[in-house]
A and B are shown apart, each in its own frame.
Chain A
């Protein structure tokens, strides 16, 4: 699986959009970009994933650059409950179970 690079930490004011970047310059054509988050002392929570098109769900939007070497997770209106570590993971989506390799992630602190 391709390696990802994320900033170690970010701050965001409550109510503002949080834009979390991820670099995955060695991504291959059939690898997807996945985002998970982990709130303190809890298990990770799936957020969103995509291959090359931008994706949106009730939690967030995922913007993938045209060359697919980087992506941005957008939380449109961050709240205090969005404070967590956000992990960007690149992996194949083969329809069978495959392990997830977690990097160090970005610690997002949402403040009043």
Chain B
């Protein structure tokens, strides 16, 4: 149990386009989902915290108009990278929190490459 999926697993896009990444909790309901970003050879950095039915809370330095987060249901959160540029190329990872386990479970990550 407690499986989190992400789609797509990898995406390549042209500069200036928008990319949507989905994060799903497959066998539990997640009231809170987190979005992280990881650049090569670096650690995970939290981008935002998303609560179902409310606006996401962004970490300092993360542009909320560039990284749009929607958490419309207890099993799905989406991250849209708008007008992507090469510097947005990174590994994006979501996690979902469940009160049943009182723990965060991580998705497998999405590798974004912007040309």
Chain A residues engaging chain B, CB cutoff 8 angstroms: 38, 41-46, 87, 93, 95-97, 99-105
What residue of chain A has the Cβ atom nearest to residue B96's Cβ? A97
B77 nearest CB across to chain A (Å) = 13
Contact present for B43 and A103 (CB under 8 Å) = yes
Specify which chain A residues have a CB less than 8 angstroms from the CB of B111 in the assembled complex: 41
A43→B108 contact, CB < 8 A:
yes
- Which residues of A have CB within 8 Å of B82? none
A97 touches B44 (CB 8 A): no
B74 to A: closest C-beta gap in Å: 13
**At the interface, is chain B mostly helix, strand, loop or mixed?**
strand
How many of chain B's residues touch chain A, expressed as a range?
Answer: 20 to 34
CB closest chain-B residue, reference A105: B43
Asked if A99 and B102 make an inter-chain contact with CB atoms under 8 angstroms apart, the answer reads no
Can you identify 6 A-B contacts, CB atoms within 8 angstroms?
A: A38-B44, A43-B4, A43-B6, A43-B95, A44-B106, A46-B103
Contacts of A101 in B (CB 8 A): 46
Asked if residues B46 and A41 are in contact (CB atoms below 8 Å), the reply is: no
User: Footprint of A on B, CB under 8 Å?
Assistant: 4, 6, 31-32, 34, 36, 43-46, 49, 51, 91, 93, 95, 97, 99, 102-109, 111
Instruction: Please name 19 further chain A to chain B contacts, defined as beta carbons within 8 Å, in addition to the given A43-B109, A97-B31, A99-B34, sorted by A numbering.
Output: A38-B44, A41-B109, A41-B111, A44-B93, A44-B95, A46-B104, A87-B43, A95-B102, A97-B32, A97-B34, A100-B44, A100-B46, A100-B95, A100-B104, A101-B46, A102-B43, A102-B44, A103-B43, A104-B43
- Chain B proximity of A109: nearest CB distance (Å): 15
A43 to chain B, nearest CB (A): 4
Q: With A41-B91, A41-B111, A43-B109 in contact, do A97 and B43 touch (Cβ < 8 Å)? A: no
Q: How far is the CA of A103 from the CA of B36 in the complex (A)?
A: 13
Residue of chain A at shortest CB distance from B31: A97
